[in-house]
Amino acid sequence: MVLSRYRCCEGSVAAGEPILELGRPSDLEIQVDLLSMDAVRLRPGMPVRLTGWGGDALDGQVRRVEPAGFTRISALGVDEQRVPVIVDFEADFTPQAHGLGSGFRIEAEFVLWEADGILQVPTSALFRHQGEWHVFAIDQGRAWRRAVVIGRRQGLVTQVLSGLEPGELIVNHPGERVDDGVRVARQD
């Protein structure tokens, strides 16, 4: 099938000049150009969630992280090292049947790690005290400093491995007025 036509009219054609782009729509793949510092964390077979294409979220998986990168200038004028990552649609998904074609926009969320039953807190609730991570846990209307062991961090949330139990209330964004034993009021 003709995917793109580069010339619309007759005329002379220089050697190597593209005229048409041919392809098989059933063989579409996804290329995501990631920052090199993000691409090094990916491996073939890792799951990918595909969104932003106009339909329900789809599942895919990393087929290949290309061995060579390239430089792209960001919107802020900064040179960024990018690496193409090739993603395959799930086995039973046919892009053409759902209206997807070559060059269409799609967003990819790479799943680096996932697990069930994870206790997590807002990263903004954590603070360092005497070299350890702590939160202020609320017990009987008072804030108490509690040491916690953290695991994986993902921007706005952080995994807690020990030191808290599910359902315990904590202080989010503890200010300088919050200290051990200070009375606190819940704000919803």
Taking domain 115-188, whether its CATH number is 2.60.120.10 is answered by no
Which of 15-24, 41-50, 89-98 bottoms out in mean pLDDT, i.e. has the lowest? 89-98
Q: What is the pLDDT of residue 9?
A: 85
Q: At a CB cut-off of 8 Å and minimum separation 6, what does 177 contact?
A: none
Taking domain 23-110, whether its CATH number is 2.60.120 is answered by no
pLDDT tens digits for 145-188? 999 999 999 889 999 999 999 999 999 999 888 999 999 987 76
Mean pLDDT of 45-62: 91
Residue spans of the domains in the chain: they are 23-110, 115-188
Q: What is the pLDDT of residue 4?
A: 84
pLDDT tens digits for 88-145? 988 788 777 778 888 888 999 999 888 899 999 999 999 999 999 999 999 999 999 9
Q: How far apart are CA 142 and CA 181, in angstroms?
A: 5
